[in-house]
Amino acid sequence: MTTRRSSLNRTAKKAATTQAPKVLWRCPKCGHRFVTRNMWHSCSNHTLAEHFRACDPALRPLFDQYLEFVRSLGPVTVIPQATRISFQGRVRFAGVVVRKQWLEGGLWLKRRVEDARFTRVAHYGGNDWGYRFRLRQPADLDATLKTYLCEAYEVGQQRADSGQRRGSAGG
The string of pLDDT tens digits covering residues 60-75 is: 999 999 999 999 999 9
**Model pLDDT, residue 78:** 93
- CA dihedral sign, ordered 61, 104, 140, 161: negative
The H or E element that residue 15 is part of is helix 2-18
Task: Tell me the helix, strand and coil percentages in the chain, rounded to 5.
Answer: 30, 25, 45
Q: What is this structure's pTM?
A: 0.72
> Domain coordinates of the chain in residue numbers?
1-44, 46-171
- CA dist 95 and 69 (Å) reads 13
**pLDDT for 166 beyond 90:** no
What pLDDT is recorded for position 46?
81
Q: Is the pLDDT of residue 6 over 70?
A: no
Least confident range from 81-85, 116-120, 151-155: namely: 81-85
What amino acid is encoded at 81 in this protein? Q
pLDDT at 12: 47
